[in-house]
Structures are given as C-alpha cells and as structure tokens.
C-alpha cells in the first residue's frame, strides 16, 4: 500500500491479549510502549496482518484486532516503511499506515473489534481464515 495506490476501506490495530481493550471502548485506549516510543500508533492493512502476527504475536495465544475506517483518520495517516531493525525485512508488505494524532485511538475511531485465538501449538492461519469476511481491504 502506498499513497499512489487505492486507499484501504479499513486499517487495523493489533493488541496483545495481555492488554485487553475495555468494553465499551473509552474515548482513548492506553498506548503501547512501542507506540509511545515511536510517537505514533502502529497500524496494519488487512494484507499486512499475517506478517504482523508472525513477527510480533508468535507466542501470544490470542490477540485483539481493532478495525478502523480509513476515511475517519486518513488526514492523520502517514505511509511509512517498517523499521527493519525491529523485525527484519518485510518484502511484499509495502508501506505501513502510522497514525499521527497525538496517540489517540478509541471509540470515535474504531468501527469494531474482534478477539482471535490461535490454534494450540499452531499459528494464526485458522483465526485468519475465520476472520476473512471481517478483514476488508
């Protein structure tokens, strides 16, 4: 995905099971340490989610996924290359959407949320397959 390509319908925020989002969502969720250090909120497109799960959630038994309408936050998105020092090269995944809005992400930005659980001893393939209709490009 780049600024020259068609914009996605949704972008996604992955949250570890150790930091479950409150229900209902508040106006602003707690910000991860990585997002705080970076000064922006790390997001993924639907096509980037498998790689993000592989690199950052390999040992997590479950994960929360927030679906965010792109049009609602488009003005605060910058499409940037992932930091290869963190997880190595991610060929084919292109640029990542980063949200620069003062680290605010909550009920006003999020369309819906799902909790995914990976198969015991396996990867995220089954969860991704079950979420196929919910993951919109």
β-pairing, 96-99 vs 62-69, is unpaired
Q: What is the pLDDT of residues 49-77, one digit of tens each?
A: 999 998 899 889 999 999 999 999 999 99
| C-alpha distances out from residue 90 to 66, 95, 104, Å | 22, 10, 27
- DSSP bridge pairs for 114: 65
How far is the C-alpha of 109 from the C-alpha of 127, rounded, in Å?
24
What would the two tokens of residue 44 be? 């993924």
Domain range 10-127, CATH architecture: Alpha-Beta Barrel (3.20)
Sequence spans of domains, the chain = 10-127
Does the pTM of the predicted model rise above 0.85?
Answer: yes
């Amino acid at each position: 995905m780049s600024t020259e390509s068609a914009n996605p319908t949704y972008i996604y925020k992955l949250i570890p099971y150790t930091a479950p989002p409150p229900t209902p969502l508040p106006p602003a969720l707690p910000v991860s340490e990585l997002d705080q250090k970076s000064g922006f909120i790390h997001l993924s497109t639907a096509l980037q989610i498998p790689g993000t799960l592989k690199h950052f959630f390999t040992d997590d038994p479950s994960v929360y996924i927030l679906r965010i309408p792109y049009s609602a936050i488009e003005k605060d998105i910058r499409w940037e290359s992932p930091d290869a020092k963190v997880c190595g090269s991610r060929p084919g995944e292109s640029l990542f959407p980063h949200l620069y809005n003062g680290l605010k992400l909550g009920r006003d930005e999020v369309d819906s949320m799902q909790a995914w659980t990976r198969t015991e001893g396996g990867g995220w393939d089954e969860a991704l397959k079950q979420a196929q209709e919910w993951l919109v490009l």
